[in-house]
């Protein structure tokens, strides 16, 4: 893959700029935006479609490590990260992500997963648009409950190459965590999700011969580097915009993103 091609580098920089901004604005890693474009780029370079999808997912997830750090620093400056939630969910996230990345990622058939995922994301978007208030007594579960929720987030994120905000933000708001805190906390959760899954992708694809220069397991390192370079610059800008928005506006923006993700996953399932 000719990563020194100026046109390709420019495309990757643009992709990183957009995904970094979204990471700061909504607490997402931008993986679901990166995956279709990276898949297109890899197939254009001659990589078989099935392998291209997996490498795109793995590479997108790896960039989230860098985007998450940049985004969470911006949210932390505004006191918008619930570190107690991060501590309770992180152990489950690591376990779920490793299970997904090391074994299931290489074996699972994607169609049924894509349909189920699209249904869940669409339901979450409807709930957020409805704007119904959670029950006053509802709160985040205890240590074991939060770890279990983290396991689900880490596992599903590893299969679709996303930072987990599409699950964690609706879950936290359902538990009466304000949307700005849920967004910032989701950005912090993105790092353990990405780190554990990246390790899984490298181990799971260790003996894989992709024919793509600079690949390590399923991860394409040159693409990861270029995208990360741009995303760490724009993530703080997105976080600044998020904290200047009305809560209802932010929920609408996030719901629209969820609908887009559901549509993408449906398209992948039927095609």
7-11 contacts, C-beta under 8 A, 24 or more apart: 8/41, 9/226, 11/37, 11/41
Residue the block writes with tokens 């970094």? 20
CB 158 within 8 A of CB 97: yes
Give how far Cα 106 sits from Cα of 12, 141, 159, Å. 25, 32, 9
Domain annotation covers residue 252: yes
Whether 88 is in a domain gets the answer: yes
Q: Cβ(131)–Cβ(251) under 8 Å? A: yes
Domain that holds residue 131: 6-270
Q: Which residue matches tokens 């997963």? A: 113
pLDDT averaged over every residue in the chain: 79
Question: 121 lies in a domain?
Answer: yes
pLDDT: is 6 or 161 the higher one? 6
d(CA 58, CA 29): 13
Q: How far apart are CA 271 and CA 32, in angstroms?
A: 17
User: DSSP string of 28-62?
Assistant: ---HHHHHHHHHHHHHHTT--HHHHHHHHHHHHHH
User: Which residues sit opposite 216 in a β-bridge?
Assistant: 219
pLDDT tens, position by position, 156-171: 887 776 767 778 888 8
> Rounded distance, CA 45 to CA 2, Å?
8
**Total domain count for the chain?**
1
What are the tokens at 243? 């904290």
As a whole number, mean pLDDT of residues 164-180 equals: 82
Predicted pLDDT at 114: 62
Cα-based distances in Å from 89 to 96, 104, 174, 175: 11, 21, 16, 14
Distances (CA, A) of 84 to 142, 145, 151: 11, 13, 16
CA-to-CA separations, 201 to 105, 162, 215, in angstroms, rounded: 8, 14, 11
3-state secondary structure 181-229: HHHHHHHHHHHHHHHHHHHHHHHHCCCCCCCCCCEECCEEHHHHHHHHH
* pLDDT tens readout for residues 61-92: 888 888 778 778 877 888 888 999 999 999 99
Q: Is residue 1 part of a domain?
A: no
Query: How confident is the model at residue 136, as a pLDDT?
Result: 53
Residue 269 above 70 pLDDT?
no
Residue 160 pLDDT: 72
Tokens of 110: 């994607």
Q: Tell me, yes or no, whether 157 lies in a domain.
A: yes
């Amino acid at each position: 893959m000719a990563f020194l091609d100026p046109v390709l580098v420019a495309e990757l920089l643009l992709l990183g700029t957009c995904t970094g901004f979204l990471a700061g604005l909504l607490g997402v890693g931008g993986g679901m935006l990166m995956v279709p474009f990276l898949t297109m780029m890899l197939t254009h370079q001659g990589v078989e479609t099935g392998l291209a999808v997996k490498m795109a997912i793995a590479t997108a997830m790896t960039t989230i490590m860098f985007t998450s750090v940049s985004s969470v620093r911006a949210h932390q400056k505004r006191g918008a990260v619930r570190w107690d939630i991060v501590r309770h969910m992180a152990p489950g996230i690591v376990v779920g992500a490793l299970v997904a990345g090391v074994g299931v990622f290489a074996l699972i058939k994607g169609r049924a997963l894509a349909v189920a995922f699209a249904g869940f994301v669409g339901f979450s978007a409807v709930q957020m648009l409805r704007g119904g208030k959670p029950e006053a007594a509802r709160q985040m579960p205890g240590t074991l409950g939060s770890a279990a929720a983290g396991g689900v987030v880490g596992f599903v994120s590893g299969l679709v190459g996303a930072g987990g905000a599409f699950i964690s933000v609706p879950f936290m708001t359902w538990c009466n965590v304000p949307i700005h805190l849920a967004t910032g906390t989701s950005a912090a959760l993105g790092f353990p999700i990405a780190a554990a899954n990246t390790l899984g992708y490298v181990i799971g694809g260790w003996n894989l011969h992709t024919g793509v220069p600079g690949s390590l397991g399923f991860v394409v390192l040159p693409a990861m580097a270029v995208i990360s370079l741009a995303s760490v610059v724009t993530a703080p800008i997105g976080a600044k915009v998020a904290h200047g928005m009305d809560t209802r506006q932010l929920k609408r923006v996030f719901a629209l993103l969820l609908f887009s993700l559901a549509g993408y996953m449906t398209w992948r399932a039927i095609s």
